[in-house]
Structure 1
Amino acid sequence: MQRFGTLSFGHYGPLGGGHILTARDSMHQAIDLAQGMDELGANGIYFRVHHFARQQSSPMPLLAAIAAKTERIEMGTGVIDMRYENPLYLAEEAAAVDLISDGRLALGVSRGSPETVVRGYEAFGYTGAKDERGADLAREHFDRFLDAIDGKGLAQRDASSPFGGGSGMQQIEPHSPGLRSRVWWGAGNRDSAEWAGRAGVNLMSSTLLTEADGTPFDILQARQIDAFRSAWKDAGHAGEPRVSVSRSVFPLVTAEDHMYFGGRQEGDGIGYIDGFRSTFGKTYAAEPDALIEQLQADAAVMSADTLMLTIPSQLGVEFNLRVVESFATHVAPALGWKSNREVKGGSLP
């Protein structure tokens, strides 16, 4: 595990006791958190993307603001739901953010998580999916997106245009040459991970897997990672792809830590999502020495190069920075971590 960052679900709304976290609060706190993490040496800050919900839904303005306010930290998504996206417009936006950030964008995309509405992507104008969950639509949009960021010509130039027409096909602009190496596919099963390996994109292994045969979550996830890397190699792609996993990890250092998370150590969970019996990862909450041993025994954490800590964003910037600082100080070095001063971004060789 060379890198670690945070994965924020970005929830806002009532906090209890008459307190409300507004959408504005959520975005400004995300920017403040990114600045603090950048100074602490954390490697990345990543955001869930959900539509029709009180969470982040349009991440590009937020990521551009973070890029302008930070120097080293990688910023990204985990994940953008491709069913909702115009792939060429997303390619333009992503290229712009990548250029603004000097190549620090880690763009996680996928079919997306279950929604709060029924086939919400159709309300955005994207219809025609044959799969009831829209997986075919997401893959179709993703293929088009890859063509765009690869710089392929996608529209016929107009020879009569007064704005420099010419002949041949025109690529989208702006174009960021290194962006392709910083695209990730969020996979919730082995087949999806293998597909990502064949496609030549990095792997964001999901917080759950649509498998449940009694095998521990970390072992299932490590097998998924192995399958992804084998598919990458068999497809003949150059270099080594990046792999991330996410975990809820809370070092118990202060009395407040014990108050919030003491006794919260939880084992793997089994449940149903999208009609699939699925395995959910455990929560780690322990004093640093015990936490190190537990994470070193987590096969997937030790196989991945990037660990994303799922954070309780509703508890505010100061609390979450302290969680990050405790992890960076007391736990991460024993796992092989290198600060953002030692590792910039993570382009494929």
Structure 2
Amino acid sequence: MRAFGFLSFGHYGGTPAQGGLDARQMLHDAVDIAVGADEIGVNGAYFRVHHFARQSASPMPLLSAAAARTQRIEVGTGVIDMRYENPLYLAEEAAALDLLADGRLALGISRGSPEPADRGWEAFGYHGSTDPRGADIAREKFDLFLRAVRGAPMARAGQQPFMSDAAPGAGLRIEPHSPDLADHVWWGAGSRDSAENVGRMGLNLMSSTLLTEATGESFADLQAEQIDRFRAAYKEAGHTGSPRVSVSRSVFPIIDEQDRMLFGVRPGEGGDQIGIIDGMRSTFGRTFAGEPDQLIEQLRADAAVQSADTLMLTIPSQAGVDLNLHILQSFAEHVAPALGWKPNTEGPVQGDPVA
């Protein structure tokens, strides 16, 4: 395990008197958790993106705020729902943020998970999907986004280009342009087939918190096979870089009695779960909670954790800054070093260009 970070769902709701967070507090807490995690030496601060829900949504303001107040930690998404995005505007925003953050952006993108709204992307002005899940427009828009961040021309200069030295009719790329941004793009894959497609595209793989498959194998083994197929497809497509791979887990080290009271797994809990998502029988990963030695043994036996280079810890973000930093500190001190991790002192994990 070369890196670990936290993945926040950014839940809020209810009143402070009821123990809930409003949106303002959730956002401030998210930045403060990122700042504390950076000081601990955690490698990444990643945030889910949902629409029409009481969760974090438009990610760029949050990522910008987190990047501005940290020095080394990678800031990113897990994942942006491409159905709701203008691909060229997203390319501009992402390039600007990547440059401002000195290459610390890790942009996880996918079709997106189920949302509360029925075809909610149409309320954002994006029509034309013939797929009830919107996968067709998500793919089309992502392909355009990827070409844009790779510097392909997106428009043609006019006959008298204003504020440009381009020749009339010359191709114009999106500006600003971050030369390394394409290497910081991850695709969130929820199946083995989609992971193979990520490999063919030459991107990093962000394996989903659930898999839209249920074969009887454990979640970890399904995910490990997904990662193997991704890497094989990457090589078969002729890519020569070293793509990164992340998996996410809920991991709660039990260090003291408060931890035991909050996170102790009850009998019958802690196994994989099977459910229906988007009409598909899906597998959800288990929650790990226990003494550090027990967690180390379990995570060493997790085939997907061992195959990935980055582990994202899903955190109970609505529980406040102090508790979440306690979880991250406990993992960093008592579990992660035994898995091969060293505190982040230099910046994001670097690999060879993936594209």
Report the TM-score, using the length of structure 1 for normalisation. 0.98
Counterpart of 1:23? 23
Q: Which residue of 1 aligns with 2:66?
A: 66
Give structure 2 stretches of 5+ with no counterpart.
Answer: none
Task: Give the match for residue 166 of structure 1.
Answer: 167
**Mapped partners of 1:6, 1:177: distance in 2:** 27
Question: Percentage identity across aligned positions?
Answer: 65
Shift of 1:345: 3.8
Which runs of 5 or more residues in structure 1 are unaligned? none
**Alpha-carbon contact 1:15-1:314 (below 8 Å) kept:** no
User: What is the DSSP-based 3-state SS (H/G/I as helix, E as strand, rest coil) of the residue aligned with 1:20?
Assistant: coil
1:186 maps to: 188
Between 1:159-168 and 1:286-295, the stretch displaced more is 159-168
Deviations 1:3-53 (A, max 9, x none): 000000000112685333111111111111111000100000100000001
Distance 2:17 2:256 in 1: 25
Query: Of the candidates 293, 310, 314, which is equivalent to residue 310 of structure 1?
Result: 314
List structure 1 runs of 4+ shifted beyond 4 angstroms: none
CA separation of 1:245 and 1:15: change in aligned 2, threshold 3 A = farther
CA shift at 1:263, angstroms? 2.0
TM-score where L is the length of structure 2: 0.96
Instruction: Give the CA deviation at 1:240.
Output: 1.2
Which position in structure 2 is the counterpart of 1:226?
228
1:329 aligned partner, one-letter code: E
**Rounded Cα–Cα distance in structure 1 between residues aligned with 2:235 and 2:15:** 47
RMSD: 1.2
For residues 1-349 of structure 1, the aligned pairs below 5 Å read 1-14=1-14, 18-164=18-164, 165-167=166-168, 168-264=170-266, 265-341=269-345, 344-349=348-353
Equivalents in 1 of 2:217, 2:203: separation in Å?
27
Q: Counterpart of 2:79 in structure 1: which amino acid?
A: V
Distance in 1 separating the partners of 2:20 and 2:304: 37
Structure 1 Cα separation of the partners of residues 264 and 136 of structure 2: 43
Q: Number of residue pairs matched?
A: 349
User: CA shift at 1:131, angstroms?
Assistant: 1.6
Distance 1:81 1:178 in 2: 22
- What SS class does the counterpart of residue 71 from structure 2 fall into? coil
Q: For the structure 1 residues 152 and 185, does the alpha-carbon distance in structure 2 shift closer, same or farther, using more than 3 Å as the test?
A: same
Which stretch of the first structure deviates more once superposed, 185-194 or 208-217?
208-217
